[in-house]
Amino acid sequence: DSGVTQTPKHLITATGQRVTLRCSPRSGDLSVYWYQQSLDQGLQFLIQYYNGEERAKGNILERFSAQQFPDLHSELNLSSLELGDSALYFCASSPTWAGTYEQYFGPGTRLTVT
Amino acid sequence: DQQVKQNSPSLSVQEGRISILNCDYTNSMFDYFLWYKKYPAEGPTFLISISSIKDKNEDGRFTVFLNKSAKHLSLHIVPSQPGDSAVYFCAASGSETSGSRLTFGEGTQLTVNP
C-alpha cells in the first residue's frame, strides 16, 4: 500500500460526458502528479500540482483540467469525453516539487468511454 | 519522441538466475532514474533509484547500474523469484526547473519460471 488513494476504481461513461477523478496523496506529501496510461501510449505525464499551485504541465488536453485543494487532495476533471480517453489514470505524490524524490503511485482509476 | 526506451518487451528467466532489464535514454537533462514494478490492475510500485552522480545503487536483490556516457541503465535482480514476475518500467526525471515529472519507458514484462 503506497498510501496514495484514488477513487473511483472503475468508471464507465458515454462520449460527451464529464467525469471527476479524485486523489489523496500520502501523508506529508505536497506534490501530486497525474499520469495517463493508454494501450498505445504507455505512461504519460499530464500535470503536477504543488501545495495548491500548478507546477508543471505535460501533454494534457484542453478538455482536461485539474486542481489541488487546501487539504492537498487533487481532482482531475475530464470533459467532452471521447472514446480515445479510455485509459488508466494514475495519481502519484512526492514530498516536494522537484529534486531527487521517488513518486508513489495510487492504484489508478480505469476509465471506459463507450 | 521516445526519450526513454526499453527495447525488450519481454524477458523470461529461471528462478534463482539473474534477470537483467535494460533501458536507454536520449535526454541529457535527465539526472535521476527510477525503476518501478507493476502488476495488472495495480499502480506502479517504486523499486529503486539512482542519481546521475552515481553509477551503481543496491537494495537487497536489486541493483541499478548507470552508464551516463552511453545513456544506459540496467536493473539486475539476483536471485530472481517467481513473485518478481511483473512489468518493469524505467523512468527518468530532469532538472529542477522542469519539476520532477517522470518520463517512462514502454515497460518490460518479466516472467520468472519456477
For residue range B1-43, list pLDDT tens digits in order: 789 999 999 999 999 999 999 999 999 989 899 999 999 888 9
Interface test with A, best of B5, B32, B102 (most A CBs within 10 A): B102
For residue B52, how many other CB atoms are within 10 A of its CB?
15
pLDDT in tens, A59-91: 899 999 999 999 999 999 999 999 999 999 999
Average pLDDT, chain B: 93
Across the interface, whether the CB atoms of B51 and A100 are under 8 A apart is answered yes
Is residue A2 pLDDT above 70, yes or no?
yes
For A111, residues 6+ apart whose C-beta sits below 8 A from its C-beta are A11, A13, A19, A21, A78, A85, A86, A87, A88, A89
Give burial (CB, 10 Å; 0-12/13-18/19+) of A76: buried
Across the interface, whether the CB atoms of B103 and A45 are under 8 A apart is answered yes
CA atoms of B5 and B42, how far apart (whole Å): 22
**B99 neighbourhood in chain A, CB within 8 Å:** 48, 50, 55-56, 97-98
For A37, residues 6+ apart whose C-beta sits below 8 A from its C-beta are A43, A44, A87, A88, A89, A90, A108
Q: pLDDT over 70 for what percent of chain A?
A: 96
pLDDT at position B95 is 65
Is residue A95 pLDDT above 90, yes or no?
no
In this structure, chain B runs to a length of 114
CA atoms of A94 and A100, how far apart (whole Å): 10
For A29, residues 6+ apart whose C-beta sits below 8 A from its C-beta are A72, A93, A94, A95, A104
pLDDT at position B29 is 87
**B33 neighbourhood in chain A, CB within 8 Å:** none
What's the grid cell of residue B20? 537483467
In this structure, chain A runs to a length of 114
Across the interface, whether the CB atoms of B100 and A90 are under 8 A apart is answered no
What's the grid cell of residue A48? 503536477
C-alpha distances in angstroms, B71 versus A62, B21, B39?
Answer: 34, 14, 27
State the average pLDDT over residues B63-87.
97
Across the interface, whether the CB atoms of B100 and A106 are under 8 A apart is answered no
